Amino acid sequence: MVYCWCGNPTIVRTSRTAKNPGRKYYYCTLEGTKCGFNGWVDEEICQRCSHMIPGLMNAKNVAEERLKANIIKSSRLKRILIVSWIGFALFAIYKFGM
């Protein structure tokens, strides 16, 4: 366990900055602290990776948004299909007396 300068245990977070994308760092758990503790968990990544990771993360976010939209659209289409089949069945029963 890594402890902060103020004596509190730290947690590990992932950096989302352009300078250090995907790097793990220790973060003080004290809410609103200004102790300034910052310690990296892993080694610095290569420059090529630091350029590629933000693009990959953006592409992942776009894909997740599209997936959510498609799930919503699919759900709506399923409801329309079910209602149409129920309507067809009711019409057939009324018209042909099944």
- Higher-pLDDT residue of 95 and 38 is 95
- Domain ranges within the chain, ordered by starting residue: 1-45, 46-98
Global pTM?
0.51
Q: Is 13 helix (H, G, I), strand (E, B) or coil?
A: strand
Per-residue pLDDT of 24-61, as tens digits, reads 888 877 766 667 667 788 777 777 877 788 888 889 99
The C-alpha atoms of residue 12 and residue 85 are separated, in whole angstroms, by 52
> Which of 13, 42, 43, 8 lies closest to 27, judged by CA?
13
